[in-house]
């Protein structure tokens, strides 16, 4: 389903996405960071936007050919849609070593966090009689505490093993910053110093380093190597630092979320609504029902937040339920009137940052939580 009106007619909801905004964000981020290579992070279904959609858009328009996902299943789906030889897909995070043969078959490059993982991966390749070579990215744990070498000795042992094993090839070396988008320069600088100390002297070509995430690319471009950047949030057009830091470039939101009123009625003074009867009308008022709830990704903690109707701010009344919400209406409006959850309506707008701030969370969590019950629709540009 690709037509906005049809999506709204059939489901009452549409997750709108802009190729133009995605391309713009990639361009300005690379230009600002001085990056020569972009590893586009498209895990969690492209942060909710559609992993293949993001990958194809960036490849077809900017010839970005490096992508990062989180799981083997994600990697296989993207590979099936992106069979081009130059397309490289990195598997971030921990992967079961016994699936090394599948990774070779799909040309997926896992991140290896230890010599033990490499040994088990080679054993799996040997047992399966796989002829191909497994490309690996070696992780350096400088402070995230999830996986990776913690000393130069550990990293050196991994590098030596990869270089001497005919079943492996070194695709990259990486780390991940914990506070790049926060006001904690001490921790960030220590992570950077530890990475540089551990990598220096091991003869790993600099063009294989990738450590600049979105926060680094935007806020630390003069401190960290940015020839290669591995970014996610900035591609989708929001500030990873939220309100804590102003963006140095103009990013354009890729996603908007809209719905339609499928019910409009008068709530009488003294009447209550939704589970728990937490909202009671103090006077007669018009309200509207929209077919969206926490099963669609509109989390219960967003109860009470603003939405836009005809360019005016209204409120979600009572608790968000699994499949429906009720909103205030300043006046009676027709059935099928559009409601904006994220995006602009007239002079008003609601950003994903505003929604996240209201819900005491981050944009990443909200965007990746919008379920596939909401149709993804390309906007006409």
Q: What is the set of active-site residues?
A: 43, 275
| Sign of the alpha-carbon torsion through 200, 204, 206, 212 | negative
Looking up tokens 């009676």 gives: 332
Could you tell me the CA-to-CA distances from 157 to 92, 121, 148, 161, 351 in Å, in that order? 21, 16, 12, 6, 47
- Buried residues in 230-257 as b, exposed as e (16+ CB within 10 A): bbbbbbbbbbbbeeeeeeeeebebbbbb
Comparing CA positions, the residue from 170, 177, 226 lying closest to residue 203 is 170
N-to-C CA span, the chain: 17
- Do the Cβ atoms of 147 and 93 come closer than 8 Å? yes
Which stretches of the chain are DSSP H helices? 4-11, 19-33, 43-47, 51-62, 72-81, 100-105, 115-128, 152-164, 185-199, 214-219, 352-358, 363-369
DSSP per-residue letters across 77-119: HHHHH---TT-EEEE-S---GGGHHHHHHTTEEEEE--HHHHH
Around Cβ 200, how many Cβ atoms within 10 Å? 10
Comparing CA positions, the residue from 141, 167, 135, 165 lying closest to residue 155 is 141
* Tally of CA atoms within 13 A in the half-sphere of 172 that contains its CB: 25
Structure tokens at 48: 């909710």
The strand pairing partners of 69, in sequence order, are 91
Helix (H, G, I), strand (E, B) or coil at 67: strand
> In angstroms, rounded to a whole number, what is the distance separating the alpha carbons of residues 305 and 303?
6
């Amino acid at each position: 389903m690709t037509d906005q009106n049809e999506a709204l007619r059939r489901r009452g909801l549409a997750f709108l996405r802009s190729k133009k905004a995605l391309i713009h964000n990639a361009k300005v981020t690379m230009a600002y960071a001085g990056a020569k290579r972009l590893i586009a992070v498209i895990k969690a279904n492209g942060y909710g936007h559609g992993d293949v959609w993001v990958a194809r858009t960036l490849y077809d328009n900017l010839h970005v050919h490096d992508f990062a996902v989180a799981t083997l299943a994600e990697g296989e789906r993207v590979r099936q849609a992106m069979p081009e030889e130059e397309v490289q897909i990195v598997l971030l995070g921990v992967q079961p070593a016994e699936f090394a043969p599948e990774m070779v078959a799909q040309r997926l490059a896992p991140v290896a966090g230890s010599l033990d993982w490499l040994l088990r991966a080679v054993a799996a390749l040997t047992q399966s009689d796989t002829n191909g070579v497994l490309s690996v990215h070696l992780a350096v744990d400088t402070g995230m505490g999830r996986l990776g070498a913690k000393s130069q000795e550990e990293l050196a042992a991994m590098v030596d093993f990869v270089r001497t094993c005919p079943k492996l090839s070194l695709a990259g070396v990486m780390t991940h910053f914990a506070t790049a988008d926060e006001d904690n320069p001490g921790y960030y600088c220590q992570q950077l110093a530890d990475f540089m100390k551990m990598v220096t002297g091991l003869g790993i070509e600099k063009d294989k380093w990738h450590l600049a995430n979105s926060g680094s690319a935007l806020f630390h471009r003069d401190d960290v190597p940015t020839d290669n950047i591995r970014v996610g949030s900035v591609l989708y057009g929001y500030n990873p630092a939220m309100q804590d830091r102003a963006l140095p470039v103009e990013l354009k939101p890729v996603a908007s979320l809209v719905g339609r009123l499928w019910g409009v009625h008068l709530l009488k003074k003294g009447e209550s609504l939704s589970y728990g009867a937490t909202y009671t009308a103090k006077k007669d008022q018009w309200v509207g029902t929209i077919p969206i709830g926490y099963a669609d990704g509109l989390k219960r903690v967003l109860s009470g937040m603003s939405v836009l109707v005809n360019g005016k701010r209204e409120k979600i009344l009572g608790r968000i339920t699994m499949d429906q919400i009720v909103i205030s209406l300043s006046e009676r409006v027709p059935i099928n009137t559009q409601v904006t959850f994220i995006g602009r309506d007239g002079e008003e707008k609601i950003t994903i940052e505003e929604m996240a701030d209201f819900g005491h969370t981050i944009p990443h969590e909200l965007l990746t939580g919008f379920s596939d019950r909401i149709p993804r629709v390309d906007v006409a540009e």
